[in-house]
Structure 1
Amino acid sequence: MSAHTDYLVIGGGAMGSATSHFLAAAGHEVVLLERFDPGHVQGASHGSTRNFNPAYDHPEYVRFLQRSQLLWDEVSQQAGVQLLHRTGLVNHGDVPGQRVIHRVLGRAGFDSELLSISEAQERFSGMRFETETLYIPQGGQLNADKAVSAFQQLAAANGAEIRHGARVLRIEVLGDELASVTVQDASGEHMITARHVVVTAGAWTQALLGTTLELPRIHVTEEHPVHFALKDRDAFWPGFNHTLDPARRTGSRVFAPVYGMHTPGEGIKVGWHGSGAVIDPEHRPHLVIEEQLSALQDYAARWLPGVDPQLFEPVSCTYANTEDEHFILDRFGPVTVGAGFSGQGFKFVPAIGEHLALLASGRTGTIPAFSAGRTIDTPIFLNRRAQAGLA
């Protein structure tokens, strides 16, 4: 392993792998360190499906969407693998919000339609609707495992050194353009110095940085979506997001908004958004919350006639969210941090990787909405969980 490098990226999930790709493609010397083995399931970048959901009205996210849509195709072509499958995506349950997004997306170059209940039901017979639906044809699904592999493949092809099984223990800022990183691997502890360090460590970000940098608080949760078995094999399945009112009496508890997508060979993936137990990623329990699982089955029985709610397979991942659920994309001297992506970040991976590479190399500045020093007036994450009765 190099004892010195220009750019040292810590965390080889999707964001770190994408950042390494864009840094290496720009001709920089890059070392990427990943604590776990390739294809591991300890973080938030594994599995075969993530929604590419363009349903945003915030201008910074819309700009990232526009860039990501182009870059997913570009990276797919370079790596020789299709990463984004455009099946379309539907949002329902929040009609006023959907209409705002419909107007914003139209100005941003995304096609979208507002469908009546009957129109949505006719197109998507595996689902049930009670409100007007926003349909976005350019939405779809991303293959997470293949994306991480593709970005690392491209980074390595441009000279990046990628090391798995390398756990970072400490980061020390030595100067305006120098940091040292203590790394533990199979051969022991080593120190690497770098002109610049990029931290994309997901659920481990706050613990790794400690008091070195002042970041907004990051809440780490363990989530357990499930794959329900298909019952209606003729139904067309877009990705979907469903906003539910936790106060509405439907005979079953609502823990959060619901997301879902078709995972070929595994069924229909369905999950509560950010409802899991708050955990320490070093001591992850891998414990399904039975009440939430039962409520997810009730949801499927009521809203997804195309699946069998009694046949399912749980999966597990971590979320890492800031309290306002906005990203952290900021630079602190020789350290750049990308964090707080869970539950919505994967669709933006190439645009964020490109942005972090530019930020680390001094070619762009911090976006105020994603500054680590922003004021968080509304703790959306905590409020949403409190409304659902989650501690």
Structure 2
Amino acid sequence: MTHSVDTLVIGGGAMGSAAARELARRGIDVALVERFTPGHTRGASHGASRNFNLSYAEPVYLRMLAAALPAWRELEAETGTALLDQVGIVNHGSNPTFDAVARLLPEFGFAAEFLDPAAAETRWPGIRFDTRVLATPQAGRLNADAAVTALQQSARAHGARIRDGARVTRVRVLGDDRVRITVEPQDADGNPQGDPESWEARRVVVTLGAWTTALLGPAIALPRLTVTQEQPAHFAEREPGLIWPGFNHTPAPGDPRYGYWHSPIYGMQTPGEGIKAGWHGVGPISDPDARTFRSEPTQLHDLQRYVRDWLPGADPDSFTEISCTYTTTEDSNFVLDRVGPIVVGAGFSGHGFKFTPVVGSYLADLVQGRGAPELFSLRAARGPVRA
């Protein structure tokens, strides 16, 4: 038996769930297939906290942020779920874009202010600041797990079919409006469960994160998508009950104080779990099907040192490790494009989650023959491919 649907979305993380929701809201017959079970920790959309960071100097992203804020609030109202807590974000360190960010944010409806380190430490005593601080009070924290659940709840309410435990193993383009997809049912441990199924669709949306290249690589010329295992941690709060902003901290090249750093640092308070902190995008390159889920010892040790040096409100010796995948392009810009009947959404890791409902709209636009920003095109210039 062959199942038929107008549009099949492959991958039920944040972006795939947002795409399925938006397509269903537009009256399109859509199904979403996801390899793993709800709440799994194999990809990039799990966990209770992501920064809703506003500190961009690129107008494309600022326009997306201006659309994302009301879109998150709309999803909250529709599903009765709290998703975005605007606790603010503070940025400090050697970031040359701060002045441009502070100048541009008001043009898109967002506030920004500079504080000196002493004033910032009085306001936020859990953090030690080393330079002037760019504060964005309308930024904040998203609950990732709750967001994916809410997106799928809404998608179902608008008529989308959602199928878990369904691994796509092959995508064959048979024509401009016809794609055949092979789906293998599997159990929660990833073992085959039943006979393979055949689906046919007019359009396919692929939002597979770390598995994108493995499925589409032979058929579509994708940019290099690097998959790493990132390993932040939650550190215990020394004074529970304080409200922390999210934070981003950029090192100064050549300054010996940052000699042990692996990258800029990011972090946020995760209610009930502690202060999340992590290096940005420098985890070991990883096969998503063969991950260790264990932190690389040197990076973990240095992350503890960062907490000791810069986060007096957190305990560097009391922590819980976290493991997730990053899938990134060379220039850190997303991939949002269509080739024939196949729509691709990829490369969101590190800064994409905040844009989820807007990305869902772009993916639905691509299905319907409209475009996404040229910055995200498969034809866009990317950084040099490294061996």
User: Do they superpose with TM above 0.5?
Assistant: yes
Does the 8 Å contact 2:228/2:325 carry over to 1?
A: yes
1:236 is matched with which residue?
243
Deviations 1:197-228 (A, max 9, x none): 00000000011112201110100000110000
**Displaced runs of 4+ in structure 1, greater than 2 A?**
232-236, 245-248
Contact 1:92 1:241 in 2 (8 A): yes
Matched residue of 2:118: which SS? Answer: helix
2:4 corresponds to: 4
How far 1:233 moved relative to its partner?
Answer: 2.9
Structure 1 spans left out of the alignment, 5+ residues: 383-390
Residue 308 of structure 1 aligns to a residue in which SS?
strand
How many angstroms does 1:117 deviate by? Answer: 1.2
Q: Partners of 1:67 and 1:150 in 2: how far apart? A: 18
Quote the offset at 1:280 in angstroms. Answer: 1.2
- Distance in structure 2 (CA, Å) of the matches to 1:231 and 1:296: 17
Given the alignment of the two structures, is residue 313 of structure 1 paired with residue 320 of structure 2, yes or no?
A: yes
Give the secondary structure class of the aligned counterpart of 1:54. Answer: coil
Q: Size of the alignment, in residue pairs?
A: 380
Find the counterpart in structure 2 of residue 368 from structure 1: 374
Q: Which runs of 5+ in 2 are unaligned?
A: 186-192
Deviation of residue 378 (structure 1)? 5.8
Whether the aligned pair in 2 keeps the contact of 1:128 and 1:305 (CA below 8 Å) is yes
Q: 1:10 to 1:237 in 2, by over 3 A?
A: same
Deviation at 1:84, TM superposition (A): 0.4
Cα shift readout 1:17-45 (whole Å, capped 9, x = no counterpart): 00000000111101100000011000000
State the 1:326 CA deviation.
0.5
Conservation of the 8 A alpha-carbon contact between 2:91 and 2:133: yes
Q: Which residue of 2 aligns with 1:196?
A: 203
Show the counterpart of 2:330: 323
Describe the superposition over 1:46-102 as per-residue Cα deviations: whole angstroms up to 9, x where unpaired: 011001001101111111111101100001100110110110011111353111101
Contact 1:126 1:236 (C-alpha < 8 Å) held by counterparts: no
- Normalised to the residue count of structure 1, the TM-score between the two structures is 0.94
CA distance in 1, matches of 2:236, 2:383: 42
Q: Distance in 2 between matches of 1:55 and 1:184?
A: 42
Aligned counterparts of 1:219 and 1:207: Cα–Cα separation in 2: 12
- Structure 2 distance, partners of 1:251, 1:342, is 24
Q: 1:113-152, aligned counterparts within 5 Å?
A: 113-152=113-152
Report the equivalent of 2:271: 264
Indicate if the aligned counterparts of 1:259 and 1:272 stay in contact, CA closer than 8 A. Answer: yes
Q: Which of residues 295, 305, 311 in structure 2 aligns to 1:304?
A: 311
Q: Which residue of 2 aligns with 1:255?
A: 262
Deviations, residues 296-319 of structure 1 (Å, cap 9, x unaligned)? 111001100001111101011000
Question: Structure 1 residues 57, 217: CA separation in 2 closer, same or farther (over 3 Å shift)?
Answer: same
What is the CA–CA distance in structure 1 between the aligned matches of 2:166 and 2:2, rounded to whole Å?
13
Q: CA deviation at 1:334?
A: 0.5
Residues in 1 aligned to 2:285 and 2:28: alpha-carbon distance in whole angstroms: 38
Instruction: Determine the C-alpha separation between the residues in 1 that align with 2:217 and 2:96.
Output: 41
1:157-168 residue pairs with structure 2 within 5 A? Answer: 157-168=157-168
Matched, 1:25 2:22: no
1:220 and 2:222 aligned: no
Q: What is aligned with 1:340?
A: 347
Measured in 2, the distance between the counterparts of 1:51 and 1:367 equals: 23
Residue 369 of structure 1, CA deviation? 0.7
In structure 2, the residue matched to 1:56 is 56
Pairwise CA distance, 1:283:
1.4
1:119 deviates by 1.6
Q: Deviations over 1:179-205 (max 9, x none)?
A: 111100032101100000000000000
Name 1:206's counterpart in structure 2.
Answer: 213
| Partners of 1:252 and 1:298 within 8 A in 2 | no
Taking the TM superposition and a 5 Å limit, the aligned residue runs for 1:86-101 are 86-94=86-94, 96-101=96-101
Amino acid at match of 1:293: L
- The CA distance in 2 between the partners of 1:64 and 1:221, in whole Å, is 26
Provide the rounded CA distance (Å) in 2 between the counterparts of 1:222 and 1:95: 25
Contact 2:329-2:382 at 8 Å conserved across structures: no
Is contact 1:25–1:155 with CA below 8 Å preserved after alignment? yes
Structure 2 equivalent of residue 388 of structure 1: none
Q: What percent of counterpart residues are identical?
A: 49
The whole-number CA distance in structure 2 between the counterparts of 1:227 and 1:38 is 23
SS at 1:3's partner residue? strand
Instruction: Give the root-mean-square deviation of aligned CA atoms.
Output: 1.5
Out of 369-378 and 350-359, give the one that drifted further.
Answer: 369-378
Answer whether contact 2:72 2:83 (CA < 8 A) is retained. yes
**Does the 8 Å contact 1:246/1:255 carry over to 2?**
no
Are the equivalent residues in 1 in contact too, given 2:365–2:372 (CA < 8 A)? no
Tell me which amino acid in the other structure corresponds to 1:367. Answer: P
Alignment CA distance shift 1:160-1:57 (3 Å):
same
Is the CA contact 1:215–1:373 (under 8 Å) kept in the aligned structure 2? no
1:226-279 CA-to-partner distances (Å, cap 9, x unmatched) read: 000001335431011111135321275110110000001110000000010001
AA at the equivalent of 2:382: I
Residue 356 of structure 1: how far off its partner (Å): 0.6
